[in-house]
Structure 1
């Protein structure tokens, strides 16, 4: 096999006397993943499903995980349930020529079994905006959509740069992002949510936490005096969120009615809709700033 280094490595193998191009990229575990014209792709994480759609590769997807629900067209595809419950045998039965998985959402033992069986597996774990863009580029290379999606990815990144330019120099607003109410959970500085808050001129009050997610106390939140409270959910969830914190009117965010709920999934899924979430977060932070 002969390889030529481009954005991804293009490798040539000879089958029946003809050169057939294979594309190789490194995944987020630094494993090399090579495919030759993938046509049967399994996508086992919602953020990866959204990325595949964004780069124009959905026509090659034969099934997705049970939580993938965007775009709406994925609901016509077979859904394989929770990836943690899938064994290698059930995945291999679909005869995939490429499997896309989330490192935190699947057993790495299953990944090892798939690779041993000769199936290319791309393991994803993006934690920052640039890493999401890198995932987009690498998957577009594997899916053969690199040329037609490159400008779209560039524009996606440029929108974040524009938000940073617009809001980055303004007064800093302390923000608390709530993942769950019981137990009370938040996200630390390693998560893209912190980066989104920061580029809007805010500051995640728990940016110092080393873990992606962590349990915190009400007292800890009150002590850090957030001026904006954020969560994700429905209108009903929003009402519960407001009521949850109404018992602490001394908190600046509650006192000034700066309690907001973002649409489900767009902020916590590290995929293309992260830019929609960022624009909403910036607007809410700016409202609190005013």
Structure 2
């Protein structure tokens, strides 16, 4: 299908580039993406297509929401993103729909987008920037980079500064607290977790937790129940699919010998607050830090940290 429509796409891309010739000159944007690829734009992008929900959210947070002309499915935050044209899902990109939007920049996600469509877009002459934040520092960096790409540096810098300040406040309050052995459960069947290279693991560290599966080689490995029983986490934190606590979280009560079960440390955080690489991840971090503090308090000998404002 892609091969059949490729000449038509080339024609549309050429028209899009010609349409931009009459635009006023702007400062060149010379930038390197998260894959190490250098990108040079003649000026800040005016028509951006986002290929991941987290990219859409960061663009809006960076003050570039008015430049976004297309998104993928599940780009549902902020509310304005729901009204934008969709170009498929992040794993099934519609190349024709993208070309029809005449973008001067596409922002992709290497972990979620397939490489072939991204290469096709580059072959059409459409600049592609790849975003892959795997730490909290990288989320702030993404805000700044998107601000440069879209010419919204001032609001992007303000958002990045606010993010770093909130992160620092959480770190000051929780990072040095006694460690809590933590198992983060992404899903039930298959049973999945994260290693220490994952952004969620950075949140666990921020809260003074220790990821019991941090040393595994895969970013989001599949494990067995036996591995969880052997690791014997003090806290189990699950996400699921929506705002409701997943029923499978309480299945760990079938193993009363687990320390997390014995101490009632089975916690839930809505996935959009901790599994999206956006500023809202600090909302999830706040919840996780409070939950791990509950786990410490249930040891009996350690009292919770004193309340503090600003976090």
TM over 0.5: yes
Is 2:218 the counterpart of 1:191?
no
* Equivalent position SS for 1:100: strand
Q: How does 1:40-189 map to 2 (within 5 A)?
A: 40-189=47-196
Q: Which runs of 5+ in 1 are unaligned?
A: 1-14
Equivalent residue number for residue 273 of structure 2: 266
Equivalent residue number for residue 220 of structure 1: 227
**Does the aligned pair in 1 maintain the 2:55–2:107 contact within 8 Å?**
yes
**Does the aligned pair in 2 maintain the 1:228–1:253 contact within 8 Å?**
yes
Q: TM-score, normalized by length of structure 1?
A: 0.89
* Equivalent position SS for 1:84: coil
Say how many residue pairs are matched. 274
Equivalent residue number for residue 40 of structure 2: 34
**Does the aligned pair in 2 maintain the 1:42–1:62 contact within 8 Å?**
yes
Q: Larger deviation: 19-28 or 134-143?
A: 19-28
1:147 and 1:81 map into 2 onto residues whose CA distance is 31
* Equivalent position SS for 1:240: helix
Equivalent residue number for residue 249 of structure 2: 241
* Equivalent position SS for 1:42: strand
Q: 1:51 to 1:236 in 2, by over 3 A?
A: closer
Equivalent residue number for residue 6 of structure 1: none
1:235 and 1:26 map into 2 onto residues whose CA distance is 36
* Equivalent position SS for 1:103: coil
**Does the aligned pair in 2 maintain the 1:67–1:81 contact within 8 Å?**
no
Q: Larger deviation: 104-113 or 230-239?
A: 230-239
Q: Larger deviation: 42-51 or 77-86?
A: 77-86
Equivalent residue number for residue 285 of structure 2: 278
1:236 and 1:131 map into 2 onto residues whose CA distance is 29
After superposition, give the CA deviation of every residue in 1:36-74 in whole Å (9 maximum; x if it has no partner): 232211111011111011111111111110121111221
1:67 and 1:152 map into 2 onto residues whose CA distance is 23
Q: 1:87 to 1:80 in 2, by over 3 A?
A: closer
User: As a proportion of its length, which structure holds more strand?
Assistant: 1
1:239 and 1:183 map into 2 onto residues whose CA distance is 15
After superposition, give the CA deviation of every residue in 1:82-118 in whole Å (9 maximum; x if it has no partner): 1332253332222111111101222222222212222
1:260 and 1:83 map into 2 onto residues whose CA distance is 29
Q: 1:34 Cα deviation (Å)? A: 2.7
Equivalent residue number for residue 20 of structure 1: 26
Q: 1:260 Cα deviation (Å)? A: 1.1
2:59 and 2:295 map into 1 onto residues whose CA distance is 36
Q: TM-score, normalized by length of structure 2?
A: 0.83
1:245 and 1:189 map into 2 onto residues whose CA distance is 23
RMSD: 1.7
